[in-house]
Amino acid sequence: MDNKKIKNLSWQTIVAMVTLLAIIGLSLYIRIKLPYERIFVDGEIWFRGTDPYYFIRHIENAVQNFPHINTFDPYKVFPYGGSVLAQPFFVFLGGGLALLLTLGSATPHTVAMIGAYIPPVLGTLTIVAVYFIGKELFNRWAGLISAALLTVLPGEFLSRSLLGFTDHHVVDSFLFTVAMLFFIMAIRRAREREISLDNLLQRDWSIITRPLVYSLIGGAFLGMHILSWKGVLLLIFILFIYLVIQSILDYFSQKPNMALCVVSIPYFLIAFIIYLPYMSRLGSASLYSISLLVVMLISLLLYFLSRFMMQKGIKSVYYLPVLVSLALLGLVSLRIINPSLLSAMLARFNPFIPGRAALTIQEMQPLLYPFGKFSWDIAWFSFTTSFFLSFVAIGLLVHDVLRRQMHDRLLFLIWSIATLAAALAQRRFGDYFTINVALLMGYISWRLMILAGIKKLHNRVVKTVESVDISRVENENSQQEKMKMGKGGHIHRWETWLRVIIAGIIIFLLVFFPSVGLPGIKPGTMLFGHSVNLMGHPLEFK
């Protein structure tokens, strides 16, 4: 890359980083400053909801006994008590931060204060992770749009990342997002380098190192997520479906790629190692073990199956029947060896069909059928227009994958469909789907900007930067360049500018404005006057 390209990239990086810092500042302002006076009242800390008090009590206990945490709560199912914290990562995080930030001298008040700040900080870090996912999948500008929208979208994610909502939900969203980010980065680097079995056997570290490092980091976050919430099985399921579909696509394109194995095996192995010490405490330990084992090995099995069939000249028409046969054989074997485990695995899909008892719990209500009645209200107050536009964006992604052969977006497509299905089944998954909504809107918004001609303006800005740089070195050449520009007309044609400006206004009105101002309500009231809590009711910030 020559010096000109390096300088052109540098100004883009500077603009993107400054914008990202502004988004971070806005996120912290919304999540800390606006609710501040409702949380810190007369020297006391008033947490949002009842669950935060429960977690703060366990965090205080962890501070006094770190690294040991309470495993029995005498107040649970009073007067008998009960076991608690099967997945204790959030309590470890809160207790560890309290000890670290106070240098080991944490008081109950400082523990509560640190606990109150955890949600907005992790919520903002999740927004940063979303920027990098958007950058990986599309480009930095789509990532910035996604991060900006996630900052202001009302609903589950915003409510759970506000000051004082000291609960495990925002930790789950953060770990889920970062684990997905590093898996995407690892897969893209491995597939771009076309890692082969020879690279592994010859230990070609120049090719292997970066994807392997990303995989290990992502696996560490997955391991922490397993210790955070049982909903981690959704992430494991998404990655399993992706690995299967991508392996099938690779086979039919006659390019079985070792990249999936290089990434997935260490990714799930490190997660397994992290959760292994707590295996006896997890009620579904066998379920996690078999899930990680299956996903860890599926890409390896499909890779060697593809190579075997290609080397033997077996017709491609037999590939899918062989896969189905192997899957059925595996299920039958599991049914014979451990029928209770198979039942437990199938029971994990019950949230998509909530029963009668589950329907009495607010967060387990279907998104569009709260209390058995169809309504758009919860979807609207959680996602506004982005909920409806997300279906358009998913349709465009399907077109990209099937017609344009952009398989690097396949994982994002599967991820979006899975979280949409989960959110439709239960509102509690709305914070997960909010991440996808923001990314989908960044994707569709940038496509609209490209359609309007923003790439032309970008190229002309690059030329302008080059001409300015030349002027610093050779003044005479700069004068000639200016004369040429003058003869050829303005460097930015006003028609292109007009289209881009109109597209920007449309994006703001359709995507951003509904999150900061709704029809019949003053602009900004939705965000700066109200937020939607877990029950769907407005909370005023006075």
Q: Which residue carries 């279906």 as its tokens?
A: 391
| Residues near 70 by beta carbon (within 8 Å), at least 6 away in sequence | 58, 61, 62, 84, 85
Judged against a pLDDT cut of 80, whether residue 462 lies above it is answered with no
Q: Which residue would you say has higher pLDDT here, 536 or 212? A: 212
The pLDDT of residue 345 is 63
Alpha carbon separation from 531 to 119, 159, 434 (Å, rounded) = 15, 7, 15
Calculate what percentage of the chain has a pLDDT beyond 90. Answer: 36
User: Is the separation of the CB atoms in 205 and 255 below 8 Å?
Assistant: no
* Cross-strand pairs, 72: 83
Cβ neighbors of 64 (< 8 A, separation 6 or more) are: none
Q: What is the mean pLDDT of residues 280-308?
A: 80
User: Is the distance from CB of 263 to CB of 183 less than 8 angstroms?
Assistant: yes
Instruction: Give the up-direction half-sphere exposure of residue 141: CA atoms within 13 A in the CB hemisphere.
Output: 12
Any idea which of 7-11, 157-161, 465-469 has the lowest mean pLDDT?
465-469
Range ranked top by mean pLDDT from 51-65, 375-389, 431-445: 431-445
Minimum mean pLDDT range among 138-152, 416-430, 516-530: 516-530
Strands 538-540 vs 530-532: parallel, antiparallel or unpaired:
antiparallel
- pTM given for the model: 0.86
As a whole number of angstroms, the distance between CA 211 and CA 187 comes to 7
Task: Give me the chain's average pLDDT, please.
Answer: 81
- Using the predicted structure, report yes or no on whether residue 480 has a pLDDT greater than 50: no
DSSP 8-state assignment for residue 32: I
Backbone angles phi, psi at 540, to 5 degrees: -90, 140
Phi then psi for residue 237, to 5 deg, are -65, -40
Q: What pLDDT, on a 0 to 100 scale, did the predictor assign at position 542?
A: 30
Residue 536 has pLDDT above 50, yes or no: no
Mean pLDDT, residues 187-196 taken together = 86
Checking if the pLDDT of 533 tops 60, the result is no
Sign of CA dihedral 267, 268, 269, 272: positive
SS3 425: helix
Counting residues of the chain whose pLDDT is more than 70, the rounded percentage is 80
Residue with the larger pLDDT of the pair 171 and 77: 171
pLDDT mean over 295-303: 88
Letter for the amino acid at 108? P
Q: Give 420's pLDDT tier (boundaries 50, 70, 90).
A: very high
Q: Is the pLDDT of residue 398 over 50?
A: yes
CA distance 446 to 440: 10
Confidence band (pLDDT; 50, 70, 90) for 481? very low
Q: What is the mean pLDDT of residues 401-428?
A: 88
Tell me the pLDDT band of 486, cut-offs 50, 70 and 90: very low
Q: 66 or 413: whose pLDDT is higher? A: 413
* The pLDDT of residue 215: 95
Residue 342 is predicted with a pLDDT of 65
pLDDT at 143: 96
pLDDT > 50? residue 541: no
H or E element in which residue 491 lies: none
Place of tokens 């028409």: 317
The residue with greater pLDDT, 493 or 497, is 497
> Which pLDDT score, from 0 to 100, does residue 201 have?
75
* CA 271 – CA 251 distance, rounded (Å): 28
C-alpha torsion sign, points 425, 429, 431, 434: negative
Helix runs in 384-429, H state only: 385-402, 410-425
Q: Taking 50 as the threshold, does the pLDDT of residue 477 lie above it?
A: no
What burial letters (b/e) apply to 65-96, b meaning 16+ CB within 10 Å? Answer: ebeebbeebeeeeeeeeeebbebbbbbbbbbe
Question: For position 514, what pLDDT does the model report?
Answer: 87
Total count of residues recorded for the chain? 542
Angle between helices 169-192 and 259-275 (to 10 degrees): 150
Distance CA 348, CA 307 (A): 34
* Mean per-residue pLDDT, 122-139: 96
User: Which band of pLDDT confidence, cut at 50, 70 and 90, is reported for residue 351?
Assistant: low
What is the 3-class SS of 250-312, one letter each residue?
HHHCCCCCCHHHHHHHHHHHHHHHHHHHHHHHCCCHHHHHHHHHHHHHHHHHHHHHHHHHHHC
CA–CA distance, 32 with 237 (Å, rounded to integer): 34
Q: What is the pLDDT of residue 303?
A: 86
Give the per-residue pLDDT at 460: 57
How far is 245 from 233, CA to CA, in rounded Å? 18
Q: Which two tokens stand for residue 366?
A: 């279907």
pLDDT at 391: 95
In the numeric block, which tokens belong to residue 339? 């029928």
Pairing of the two strands 72-73 and 82-83: antiparallel
- Specify the pLDDT at position 359: 54
Confidence at 532, pLDDT banded by 50, 70, 90: very low
